[in-house]
Amino acid sequence: MSPAALAIKTDGFPTTAAERFGVAERPSLAFTPEVARATEHLYDRVNHHIPAIEWPIHAPYVYAINRLKAERGAVILAHNYQTPEIFHCVADIVGDSLQLAREAAKVDAEIIVQCGVHFMAETSKLLNPEKTVLIPDMRAGCSLSESITGADVRLLKERYPGVPVVTYVNTSADVKAETDICCTSSNVLAVVESLESDTVLCIPDEYLAMNVAKQTKKKIITWKGRCEVHERFSAEELIAYREADPSIQIIAHPECHPDVIAVADFAGSTSGMIDYVKTNLPGRVLLVTECSMASNVEAEVPGVEFVKPCNLCPHMKRITLPKILDCLVDMREEVTVDPVIAARARLAVERMIDLVS
């Protein structure tokens, strides 16, 4: 299988990734003995989640993606919310938003395939303007990112002149370009505290901002953005879990309402939550977040029982093995950012990375 075998001919300067890298031959998706042998060790990582009878469906994709990835010299970055067959079987780098942004900044490969949502792919592109960044489904958005535009931020700055703008990384490059510094859920407090001003605009996640406001003396002004997955959790539901089993550990993502965080034993980014489970090894744990994450981590902590309220992020779930394969075969969809916007947005992301590294 040679990626250049079906190279697209172009008379002019190649502008698309397919023109630059060529389209590959579509691999066979038969579950051959060779595929079974080559993927056996990967099945061991997901056998708690994928029944043996289903592996012959996934394995040919896993095999083809890993071969084509190597031929293309591509790297796959996957967020903690990706499904186990992506997270454990084809990803090269996994992590939370901050870890993926940091790793994206160091990537040597010419091609980055972002298994996550669009703002994550844009962040990779901002930090690697020379690289080709692909996303398996361009429609993988985010309710927080879609809650605000660059024009909205300009209006906020007119309304609150001189107030520094901290923007959650779950935003478009347009919004980041209007921002002083970005943050993620793992560093929002450090970012807010790093600013001299007594008042800070912390946008667009209203709940993240309310949660940080409880930990700082600064006045926090926010926006009405919400994560459609985390806003569905309620304190009442968590209290009911705790009443049913007082020994249960409850750990929540800071995109949840402050009343939910108040009931939790720990709150942190997706990787912070994983580290908490690995360090504390609770007998039973409730992960108050997107439910694929528990499936990804449970194989690594066999003694821990996970209670999984199954809230799925419909955007993260747009990324599938067949779409990752298509992406590597056809070299699409390519994520691009206007260079003028990118230059300004990059500064906001780099300021965050410099502050917390």
Binding residues are 79, 97, 142, 168-170, 185, 227, 253-255, 270, 313
| Partner from ligand SF4, ligand 13P, none binding residue 269, C-beta < 5-8 Å depending on class | ligand 13P
Question: Which range binds ligand SF4 by CB under 6 A, 121-129, 151-159, 174-182, 309-317?
Answer: 309-317
The answer to the question of residue 313 lying near ligand SF4 (CB under 6 A) is yes
| Partner from ligand SF4, ligand 13P, none binding residue 270, C-beta < 5-8 Å depending on class | ligand 13P
Q: DSSP alpha helices (H): ranges in 140-269? A: 150-159, 173-176, 188-193, 206-213, 235-244, 258-263
> Nearest 5°: phi and psi at 88?
-95, -20
> Nearest 5°: phi and psi at 171?
-145, 165
Using the minimum distance from each CB to ligand 13P, give the nearer residue, 287 or 328.
287
Reduce the DSSP state of residue 258 to 3 states and report it: helix
The answer to the question of residue 290 lying near ligand SF4 (CB under 6 A) is yes
Answer for the pair 324, 90: CB distance below 8 angstroms, yes or no. Answer: yes
d(CA 193, CA 166) in angstroms, rounded, equals: 11
Residue 141, number of CB atoms within 10 A of its CB: 16
What's the distance, Cα to Cα, between the start and end of the chain in Å?
41
77 beta partners: 93, 114
**What's the one-letter identity of residue 220?**
I
Cβ 169 to ligand SF4 shortest distance, Å:
10
Answer for the pair 153, 231: CB distance below 8 angstroms, yes or no. Answer: no
Q: What does the per-residue mask of binding to ligand SF4 show for 57-96, with x meaning CB under 6 A? A: ----------------------------------------
d(CA 192, CA 189) in angstroms, rounded, equals: 5
Please name the residue that has the structure tokens 């008042």: 199
Question: Which range binds ligand SF4 by CB under 6 A, 45-53, 124-132, 141-149, 338-346?
Answer: 141-149
| Partner from ligand SF4, ligand 13P, none binding residue 123, C-beta < 5-8 Å depending on class | none
* Count of positions on this chain that bind ligand SF4 (CB under 6 A): 13
Using the minimum distance from each CB to ligand 13P, give the nearer residue, 96 or 334.
96
Cβ 98 to ligand SF4 shortest distance, Å:
13
Binding residues for iminosuccinate: 79, 97, 168-170, 185, 253-255, 270
Using the minimum distance from each CB to ligand SF4, give the nearer residue, 169 or 324.
169
Which tokens in the block code for residue 146? 């879609």
Binding residues for [4Fe-4S] cluster: 142, 227, 313
The answer to the question of residue 144 lying near ligand SF4 (CB under 6 A) is yes
Q: Which of 141, 125, 9 is nearest to 77 (CA)?
A: 125
- Enumerate binding residues for ligand 13P (CB under 6 A): 80, 96-97, 170, 184-185, 227, 253, 255, 269-270
* Edge-to-edge strand ranges of the sheet holding 266-267: 266-267, 249-252, 284-288, 305-307
**What's the one-letter identity of residue 152?**
D
d(CA 251, CA 4) in angstroms, rounded, equals: 48
Q: What does the per-residue mask of binding to ligand SF4 show for 165-204, with x meaning CB under 6 A? A: -----x----------------------------------
| Partner from ligand SF4, ligand 13P, none binding residue 277, C-beta < 5-8 Å depending on class | none
For ligand SF4, the binding residues (CB under 6 A) are 117, 142-144, 170, 227-229, 255, 290, 313, 315-316
